Amino acid sequence: MSLLLFLAQTLRIAIPYLFAAAGGALAERAGIVSLTLEGFMLGGAFGAVLGAHYTGSAWVGLVTGVASGLLLAAIHAVCSIRYKADQIVVGVAINLFTVGITRFFLQLAFESSSNSPRVAGFGGDAGSGAAAFLTNPLVWAGIVVMPALWWLIRKTTFGLRVRAVGEHPQAAASVGVPVNRVRYAAVLGSGALAALGGVYLALDQHQFTDSMTAGRGFIALAAVIFGRWDPLRAGVACLLFAAAETLQIQLQSAQLIPSQFVAMIPYVLTIVAVAGVVGRSTPPAALGRTTD
Amino acid sequence: MNERTRILLEESILPPLVALAVAFIAGDLLILAYGQAPGAVWAALFEGTWGNAYGFGQVLYKATTLTCTGLAVAMSLRAGLFNIGAEGQLAAGGFGAAVTGLALPAGTPWIIAVPLCTLAACLAGGAVGAVPGVLRAKFGAHEVIVTIMSNFIVLALLNYIVSAKLHVPETLHTPEMHAGEVARLSGMIAGFHGSAANWTLAIVLGACVAVWWYLFRTRAGYELRAVGLQPGAAEYAGVKVGRTWRNALILSGALAGLGGVNFVLGYKGYYEDGFAGGAGFLGIAVALVGRNHPLGVLLAALFFATLSQGGLAINAMVPKQIVEALQGIVIIAVATSVPEVRRVLRDAAGKVAGGRA
């Protein structure tokens, strides 16, 4: 029973990572740097709460949350693809902008600097019991998102094009692949996916709180890199990072390891992975480069 | 348009112009969305920053830290690398300074204590910068990824230390230093009374000159810029690219670490969890608008410091968070429009010169 509880708790923590990491893997495989996941998630969380608050429906919240993610992703895409701005700079700026603008609208809509009122979530108002967890469509979507993305990237024409523009855009263009259009689709897709992670967080907690994503977008990015840009491996990395967190929460009373050290695990593993101590993690060849 | 005017336009005038224009237009829209009159809000923002001595002192204080993180990012970008780790390096620098000040015996004269603490800040920041530097030089690990991750690691480690090991109970800060405090500017100019502006400003101005000298007047700086422009060509000319990258990231980290002096020695007298508060990330904006030139970095730091202090001045009318959104918008606008306008100008210049370009 406690093992089941452990797995359920791990999954609950992993769902936002899985969505955001899926978004990150998609955009990065198309050659667009994904420092924006944190911003997309936060925007998604805020959009979801706005929609759910004004209509009382979690489903509307889901739609408005994804729409917020798409809006932010559109800014990222136009700046990075159409205008060839530095993707790292734009990514950092979008994160900064999202923190500020969600605080601004939190004040404007709810006259609070810390949190929104309580909103509806999936599984009724019952709270966070097992029934609410199992009837939450986002939980099930989160479980299948990585296998689905793997299938999309490995088995479909679109996926082949995504990989081609991420590795060698000139070669892709020479055989008629619309490089920019594929990249737009990948970035918008990453915005929608990462926003779902934020939607899940906000509806699970039934409210928006200031900067509630708290670095989860970067843990997701770490999972993408640690998983060598492969959706299945990235998914396993998300579960691994979530399991470490769960273990830390359950062992909290024992005070075996300080929580800060558990929090470091994803980041340390990622540095080890890119430094290539155990099997070098190599990004897509054209990552971050937009050429004419 | 001749070559000189074009370069002057591109490099020095265009980015700040875009930044100012965009800040005003986007700011107007947000202020109107909140149901306030833009004119009154801008007037209050100006009055609360450049309009009185206290506000201006606060701008100087914030600009001091931002200049350091801006110089840090600029130094890395000149070498063709992107240091996103300034946030953690800044925090590490502050911690290094605070611990050194704590270790010194009480009554150590400032002439000894301040340089020692400052050196400790630079060493701590430089040590954090050395990690991505060495990994880049030795293993080709991408510095963007390593510096992002190093932020979280450093901040978590420092959080652990000040919450469990070295702290005043019930707080998240270290005990007060015994020696090494930097005097406030208000000691000389009474009008600054109450503001945190302090003599770290002088140290940082010195750092600006030193960075300029290093980049544009020394052989090592020339090599660093050559590597930044064309690593392949630089290597062919005999420059050790890996070593240059490593040194650039160490120097970059040291500059960010220097920023910790402003808060720790000049303001609080101790290290406090979370004092960096985004100044490391804003350093990217400062370097971008300042075109990676020390003088530009200084002016850009004043601009972003004005925005951030201005947010407090207008908080009664519109939420101060408006400036955080504005800072993001300004960065996006500058990063997007400047390369675009440059392309247009370059095309125009090419046509005038008969396709010479």
Over residues B98-127, the pLDDT tens digits come to: 999 999 998 889 889 999 999 999 999 999
**Residues of chain B numbered 94-133 and touching chain A (CB < 8 Å):** 131
pLDDT band at A115 (very low <50, low <70, confident <90, very high): confident
Burial pattern B85-119, b for ≥16 Cβ within 10 A else e, equals bbbbbbbbbbbbbbbbbbebeeebeeeebbebbbb
Phi, psi of B345 (to 5 degrees): -60, -40
Beta bridge partners of B108: none
Q: What span, in angstroms and rounded, lies between the C-alpha atoms of B91 and A179?
A: 41
Query: How far, CA to CA in Å, does B178 sit from each of A112, B99, B131, B171, B185?
Result: 41, 10, 31, 19, 21
Domain residues of chain A, as ranges? 2-275
A118 Rama sector, left if φ>0, alpha if ψ -120 to 50, beta otherwise: beta
Q: What pLDDT was estimated at residue B356?
A: 42
Q: Inter-chain contact A107–B319, Cβ cutoff 8 Å?
A: yes
Which is more confidently placed, A276 or B289?
B289
Over residues B181-192, the mean pLDDT reads 83
Mutation choice for A interface testing from B22, B69, B136, B149 by most A CBs within 10 A: B149
> B353 Cβ partners below 8 Å, 6+ apart?
none
Residues of A in contact with B311 (CB under 8 A): none
Question: How long is chain A?
Answer: 292
A285 to chain B, any CB pair closer than 8 A? The answer is no
A272 to chain B, any CB pair closer than 8 A? The answer is no
Q: What span, in angstroms and rounded, lies between the C-alpha atoms of B297 and B309?
A: 18
Nearest CA in chain B to A103: B321
Percent of chain B with pLDDT over 90: 62
Q: What single DSSP character describes residue B265? A: I
Residues of B in contact with A85 (CB under 8 A): 332, 335-336, 339
Q: Inter-chain contact A97–B329, Cβ cutoff 8 Å?
A: yes
Nearest CA in chain B to A87: B335
pLDDT band at B130 (very low <50, low <70, confident <90, very high): very high
Q: What pLDDT was estimated at residue B357?
A: 36
Asked if residue B296 belongs to a domain, the reply is: no
Which residue is listed with tokens 């009382």?
A56
Residues of B in contact with A270 (CB under 8 A): 145, 149
pLDDT at B354 over 70: no
Picking from B149, B164, B323, the nearest residue to A222 by CB comes out as B149
- Mean pLDDT, chain A, whole residue set: 89
pLDDT band at B302 (very low <50, low <70, confident <90, very high): very high
Residues of B in contact with A88 (CB under 8 A): 82, 84, 144
pLDDT at B168 over 50: yes
Q: What pLDDT was estimated at residue B355?
A: 45
CA angle A249, A251, A255 (to 5 degrees): 110
Closest CA to A138 of A122, A119, A120, A118: A122
pLDDT at B294 over 90: yes
A89 to chain B, any CB pair closer than 8 A? The answer is yes
Q: A2-275, what's its fold?
A: ABC transporter involved in vitamin B12 uptake, BtuC (1.10.3470)
Which residue is listed with tokens 């600029």?
B74
Q: Summarize pLDDT for B201-242 with one digit per residue, the tens.
A: 999 999 999 999 999 999 999 999 999 999 999 999 989 999
Picking from A94, A99, A108, the nearest residue to B34 by CB comes out as A108
Q: What pLDDT was estimated at residue B195?
A: 86
Phi, psi of A208 (to 5 degrees): -105, 130
Over residues A223-251, the mean pLDDT reads 90
Q: What single DSSP character describes residue B272? A: B
pLDDT at B136 over 60: yes
pLDDT band at B167 (very low <50, low <70, confident <90, very high): confident
**Residues of chain B numbered 30-49 and touching chain A (CB < 8 Å):** 30, 33-34
Which is more confidently placed, A101 or A251?
A101
pLDDT band at A128 (very low <50, low <70, confident <90, very high): low
pLDDT at A279 over 60: no
Q: Would you say B276 and B90 are in contact if contact means Cβ atoms under 8 Å apart?
A: yes
Q: What pLDDT was estimated at residue B15?
A: 77
pLDDT at B263 over 50: yes
Q: What pLDDT was estimated at residue A121?
A: 82
Which is more confidently placed, B174 or A18?
A18
Over residues B29-58, the mean pLDDT reads 92
Over residues A203-211, the mean pLDDT reads 91
pLDDT at B293 over 80: yes
Q: What single DSSP character describes residue B198? A: B
**Residues of chain B numbered 191-250 and touching chain A (CB < 8 Å):** none
Asked if residue B51 belongs to a domain, the reply is: no
Residues of A in contact with B337 (CB under 8 A): 83
Asked if residue B292 belongs to a domain, the reply is: no
Question: Measured between CA atoms, how close is B187 to chain A, in angstroms?
Answer: 36
pLDDT at A292 over 60: no
Q: Summarize pLDDT for A4-44 with one digit per residue, the tens.
A: 888 888 999 999 999 999 999 999 999 999 999 999 999 99
Q: Inter-chain contact B339–A98, Cβ cutoff 8 Å?
A: no
> Domain of B70?
62-287
Q: What span, in angstroms and rounded, lies between the C-alpha atoms of A59 and A252?
A: 35
Q: What span, in angstroms and rounded, lies between the C-alpha atoms of B5 and B354?
A: 18
Q: What pLDDT was estimated at residue B142?
A: 87
For chain B, report the end-to-end CA distance as a whole number of angstroms: 13
Q: What is the pTM of this model?
A: 0.91
Q: What single DSSP character describes residue B190? A: G
CA angle B290, B291, B295 (to 5 degrees): 50
Secondary structure class of B76 (helix, strand, coil): helix
So what's the ipTM on this one?
A: 0.89
> In the structure encoding, which two tokens stand for residue B303, read together?
């601009």
Q: What span, in angstroms and rounded, lies between the C-alpha atoms of B126 and A229?
A: 31
Q: What pLDDT was estimated at residue A257?
A: 77
B341 to chain A, any CB pair closer than 8 A? The answer is no
Q: Inter-chain contact A83–B324, Cβ cutoff 8 Å?
A: no
Mutation choice for A interface testing from B73, B83, B136, B144 by most A CBs within 10 A: B144
Residues of B in contact with A84 (CB under 8 A): 339
Asked if residue B346 belongs to a domain, the reply is: no
Asked if residue B18 belongs to a domain, the reply is: no
Looking at the structure of chain B, the number of domains it has is: 1
Q: Summarize pLDDT for A129-161 with one digit per residue, the tens.
A: 676 777 788 999 999 999 999 999 999 999 999
Q: Which long-range contacts link A165-168 to residues 24+ away (Cβ below 8 Å)? A: A165/A30, A165/A31, A165/A286, A166/A28, A166/A29, A166/A30, A166/A31, A166/A284, A166/A285, A166/A286, A166/A287, A167/A31, A167/A284, A167/A285, A167/A286, A168/A285, A168/A286
pLDDT at A126 over 60: no
Q: What pLDDT was estimated at residue A282?
A: 73
Closest CA to A150 of A164, A163, A132: A163
Percent of chain A with pLDDT over 90: 64
